[in-house]
Amino acid sequence: MQESDATQPATVTAGSVVAHQPPRWWGALIGLLALGAGLAMGGVIAGFSRVLRSPIVSVGDRVIDHVPKPLKLWAVRTFGTTDKTVLVWSIVIVIAIIAVLVGIVTVRGRTDIGIAFSVLLGLAGAWAGGVGRNTHSVGVLPSLLAGATAAGVLLLGHRLAQPRAPQSVVPASATPRPVAQSMTGAPALDRRRFLMASGGIAVATVALGAVGRGLQHRFDSAIERAGVRPPAPQAPLPAPPTDPALTTEGLSPLITPINDFYRIDTALSFPSVSLKSWKLKITGMVDNERSYTYDDLMSRELIERDITISCVSNEVGGDLVGNARWIGCSLDDLLAEAGIHKDADQIMGVSVDEFTAGFPVATLDGRDAIVALGMNGEALPVKNGFPARLIIPGLYGYVSATKWLSEIRLTRFDREQGYWVPRGWSAEAPVKTQSRIDRPGSSIAKGTVAIAGVAWAPTRGITQVEVQIDDGVWTVTTLGPSLSDNSWRQWWLKWDATPGKHQIRCRATDGSGDTQTEERVDVAPNGATGWHTIRVNVGA
Ligand SMILES: Nc1nc2c(c(=O)[nH]1)N[C@H]1C(S)=C(S)[C@@H](COP(=O)(O)O)O[C@H]1N2
Ligand SMILES: [Mo]
């Protein structure tokens, strides 16, 4: 491109008249406008129906489904819960760079490349939106129209960048248009026309973008959630005891507030659910397939249980764990109504966005497995699975806690695997006993302080937590209230902190008498082990 610049006739610039070969930034601008207008158009089309998604979300979902495990682990480790924002921006930036290059060559004559790029973009999005997880054949539409729009803008950009011949024959009535003429009388670029047209496209893009957002907003599940009453258990749990976290700063609350509750899922945008059409189906290896509306579930007997759930990706000391009061229907009762076949050995939760998580039928051993409709006294938050999700005490989320639940399918492990299993995670994954130090921080003043944290071993309960300071003896800590064997327990210990550097570690013993192993294993394939260890700098 550098060379072709040099071969152009010398530029004669006068007023808005510029060189024959459009400057690179013209093409770059057209490339970005083509991409922006395309995406905006895709967003508008996606706003027409609940089943459609914008091209970026379609492509992003597909990328999420195919990222190699090490990259996924790295992303969660590096960006935590913001990994999705990082993903979306990475996709946008990569496509934007390509769009800039394509814009430059298209505007300079290679319209074939511009069209090929638009077609590829449209087809990639259409493929992503029209196949596999959470799709519909009309799902190809937003991306196809986005591609067509991008092609249109690129071609228009190419035309705008054509030198215009001097208008020697001017109708007598018309005013001559000097803007398109060079002083030499040769054809020249019309910079003013280009800028006006680009400005117009930019304004249209912003307007389309706003319309698309507005249209898509109609399908936000938060609107549906705002219209439901909180599910009320027939026998509410007693109010929790005074929370020790109120007097021990930095200690995790006994019940994790909804806003602080971790969120892990594969959804780039929350699935949109209309309560009018939403149903929970019980299917597969059952005597009678069943189907329940939201009202059907809400008018059943609702139970309330305190249960700690954890992500398998929670590292030792990590915060992908939380304790909540879940309200919902007994899973055992629902499945009893359907009648499980003797040869079924797996219960598979399927979500509205076709995530799946399976666990053994044998898990239904009397533990409180719940189809949850509520959390901490509210309707289930959208981020935690509105309208309904599964909560199975004692199992990591990826094999049990299906959010945005639409189906419970009775099946067999030798026939079907949940979403994460073919991606290298274990088919069965009970939660490992763990404990975490929440305080003190890494640098404190000397004197008496509390060492405090939480420990969990859902279904087994926590019977003891010990702390070791430097190479001292293991000291038994005070345990906070026990809400249930499925819930975590807080623990604390007074420590007379002396100046210098110290190491503190903790270990929990669960209700079956097992103490956490010191052996450090990674989160993959079925949960981390090891003792949480912190270093504290105590000032003089
Ligand atoms: N539909 C759906 N449900 C899902 C997931 C998902 O990706 N999609 N992730 C699971 C995982 S890995 C975990 S750890 C829990 C997290 O639940 P939370 O986001 O409410 O904390 O949800 C589970 N349920
Ligand atoms: Mo998870």
Q: What is the distance between the alpha carbons of residues 30 and 36, in angstroms, rounded to a whole number?
A: 10
* pLDDT for res 134: 56
Does residue 145 have a pLDDT over 70? yes
Ligand of minimum distance to the alpha carbon of 61 = 1
What pLDDT band is residue 7 in, cutting at 50, 70 and 90? very low
* pLDDT for res 136: 73
* pLDDT for res 414: 98
Q: What is the distance between the alpha carbons of residues 430 and 411, in angstroms, rounded to a whole number?
A: 19
Does residue 164 have a pLDDT over 90? no
Closest protein CA for atom 7 of ligand 1: 265
Does residue 77 have a pLDDT over 90? no
Q: Dihedral sign, CA of 30, 34, 35, 40?
A: positive
What pLDDT band is residue 75 in, cutting at 50, 70 and 90? confident
* pLDDT for res 84: 83
The overall average pLDDT reported for the chain is: 91
| Total residue length of the chain | 540
Residue 190, SS3 per DSSP: strand
Q: What is the distance between the alpha carbons of residues 242 and 407, in angstroms, rounded to a whole number?
A: 38
Q: Which of 164, 162, 159, 154 is CA-nearest to residue 112?
A: 154
Does residue 43 have a pLDDT over 80? yes
Residue 223, SS3 per DSSP: helix
224: Cβ below 6 Å to ligand 1?
Answer: no
Segment 152-174 mean pLDDT: 76
What pLDDT band is residue 79 in, cutting at 50, 70 and 90? confident
pLDDT in tens, 283-331: 999 999 999 999 999 999 999 999 999 999 999 999 999 999 999 999 9
Contact 154, 114 (CB under 8 A): yes
Segment 485-493 mean pLDDT: 98
Integer angstrom CA distances of residue 433 from 207, 208, 457, 511: 53, 52, 4, 10
What pLDDT band is residue 192 in, cutting at 50, 70 and 90? very high
Q: Which of 153, 147, 90, 157 is CA-nearest to residue 120?
A: 147
Ligand of minimum distance to the alpha carbon of 309 = 1
Domains defined for the chain, CATH in brackets: 10-166+184-217 (no CATH), 253-423 (3.90.420.10), 434-539 (2.60.40.650)
**pLDDT exceeding 70 applies to what percent of the chain?**
91
Residue 373, SS3 per DSSP: strand
Q: What is the distance between the alpha carbons of residues 338 and 327, in angstroms, rounded to a whole number?
A: 21
Q: What is the distance between the alpha carbons of residues 114 and 153, in angstroms, rounded to a whole number?
A: 10
Distance 497 CA to ligand 2 centre (A): 36
Q: Which residues surround ligand 2, an ion (CB under 5 A)?
A: 264, 311, 397-398
273: Cβ below 6 Å to ligand 1?
Answer: no
Segment 115-131 mean pLDDT: 91
pTM of the model: 0.88
Does residue 6 have a pLDDT over 60? no
Segment 93-97 mean pLDDT: 95
Contact 432, 529 (CB under 8 A): yes
What pLDDT band is residue 10 in, cutting at 50, 70 and 90? very low
Closest protein CA for atom 15 of ligand 1: 397
Instruction: Tell me the three-class secondary structure of 266-280, residue by residue.
Output: CCCCCCCCCCCCCCE
402: Cβ below 6 Å to ligand 1?
Answer: yes
349: Cβ below 6 Å to ligand 1?
Answer: no
398: Cβ below 6 Å to ligand 1?
Answer: yes
Closest protein CA for atom 21 of ligand 1: 263
Does residue 168 have a pLDDT over 70? no
Residue 515, SS3 per DSSP: strand
| Residue 253: Cβ within 10 Å count | 16
Ligand 1 pocket: which of 400, 403, 404 to mutate (most atoms within 8 A of CB): 403
pLDDT in tens, 360-376: 999 999 999 999 999 99
